[in-house]
Structure 1
């Protein structure tokens, strides 16, 4: 995810220019990006969630967040979804600290204790690629950006939406 770090300034600038409802949704993530914190994982999570919003996709489809949930309850809930990343926190737990971050596919947890949302996103892309799965429809542009812009895999074939964002990054906006 170091490549996302190299685009942090450009993406933050691009996200700040976004207006309307999307601009309002981006505000909480932009606050984190502008904090003087040294927590790189927090900034990476903010940039990845903001990317979903900017691309018109639901960040809630990327990361399923749970507070104080039992193992059986989370498994029951994850079975309702095709694939994604889950984050578990304890009620009253340390702010911005996750007790578990993992990946699930077809309701089954396939990786846990990933350490960070950014690492889980990279691993999720690897799982999708290794299993030759289609991107989730709800996050099509998000995963296309990760694959083709950040990881530079099959980068010559971009959708118009991703091409526009890549051009803005390349122009240094």
Structure 2
């Protein structure tokens, strides 16, 4: 009888333990379910305010999600985009209207809905008087498209410079609408407008847009201010000064004028706190086709091959110019292409490009630009007293080292 009681007591004890374990597991399961429900509820609350937008910028497509809803104004939205996308130039926004299947200027964020498509558009610089001109009198989209197709055919022939120039001038308004208003890849633009990637037409297109000659101004201003810049670079101390001195040693070996321009531009990039390697890639004994393959992932790059010598420009991984004479000319033509193709300056080279264009663009000076200008003014003041006033005027008129 005592054995039966013992078994019964043991079973009751085990059942009690099992019940406690079951209720413990049940409580844990219920608690986990409640936490998951709370999490899902919070996500639903967040989704109620979150807005996702597709962004076209230059030739890329990005996605941005506003977790707390859209900014209250277009200006605030532009600030968010400029920070998130590393945009360095003045921009505006356009949105795609589903009813018209076209882009319109965004004037209020209340016009936007979740998953809408936006386009970042560059505002014209003050000197770009022909940034987006109307079609010539009597011309239509259709007639200019016919002229574009004819221009593509003519570009394949020889001795066509005069004819191509007339056609490019006639189709300028059509081309600017494509470059500014559409998000085409550089490779596609090169296919549609092959002449636009010729040095002669880069110069002409720059003049059409800005009424300023490109190469002659760039090179003359570079030569004019090189002596003062070299003095400034030689006086630089610290790590940057050491890097510039290594570059300037090349001038002792080869004082050629083209070499001097090359070294001055490289030192200028370093002086502005940026990296030469972000703009110029040097190769030795590497075939040019291998260089093109190596730079496919680069958005903007000048390359120079040694033995044999070859200089060219890569944009969006596409070789857009080859067979150039030297790096200074490549820098100049790249500056022209940023205008012709309406491209942003590379974020890691923004200060350098702004210095290149300072006077022409009449933009608000950056702190680095002001520092450089003050240093040049200081050196001008150290000149002969009889020429002091004249020297100050010349350096003040520089307004950016390379006043293109």
TM band (smaller chain)? 0.7 to 0.9
Which deviates further from its counterpart, 123-132 or 153-162? 153-162
Q: Equivalents in 1 of 2:317, 2:345: separation in Å?
A: 16
Q: Structure 1, residues 38-67: CA drift from partner, whole Å, max 9, x if none?
A: 511100000000011111111111111111
Q: Equivalents in 2 of 1:17, 1:143: separation in Å?
A: 23
Q: 1:47 aligns with which of 264, 276, 280?
A: 264
Q: Does 1:172 align with 2:379?
A: yes
Q: Does 1:140 align with 2:377?
A: no
How far is the alpha carbon of 1:72 from its aligned partner?
3.8
Q: Structure 1, residues 66-90: CA drift from partner, whole Å, max 9, x if none?
A: 1122344222211121011110112
CA contact (8 A) 2:288 2:310 kept: no
Structure 2 unaligned blocks of 5 or more: 1-218, 381-404
User: Map of 1:28-107 to 2, 5 A cutoff?
Assistant: 28-33=246-251, 35=252, 38-90=255-307, 99-107=309-317
How far is the alpha carbon of 1:123 from its aligned partner?
0.3
Q: Structure 1, residues 13-49: CA drift from partner, whole Å, max 9, x if none?
A: 111221111011011223344x385511100000000
- Aligned residue for 1:120? 330
Q: RMSD of aligned C-alpha atoms?
A: 1.8
Which has the higher Rg, Structure 1 or Structure 2?
2
Structure 1 unaligned blocks of 5 or more: 91-97
Q: Equivalents in 1 of 2:300, 2:365: separation in Å?
A: 23
- Aligned residue for 1:93? none
Q: What's the TM-score once normalised by structure 1's chain length?
A: 0.86
Q: Structure 1, residues 103-139: CA drift from partner, whole Å, max 9, x if none?
A: 1101111111110110000000000111111111111
User: Map of 1:149-164 to 2, 5 A cutoff?
Assistant: 152-164=359-371
Which deviates further from its counterpart, 117-126 or 16-25? 16-25
Q: What's the TM-score once normalised by structure 2's chain length?
A: 0.38
Q: Equivalents in 1 of 2:299, 2:340: separation in Å?
A: 16
* 3-state SS, counterpart of residue 328 of structure 2: helix
Q: Equivalents in 2 of 1:15, 1:55: separation in Å?
A: 11
Q: Equivalents in 2 of 1:71, 1:78: separation in Å?
A: 11
Q: Equivalents in 2 of 1:74, 1:12: separation in Å?
A: 31
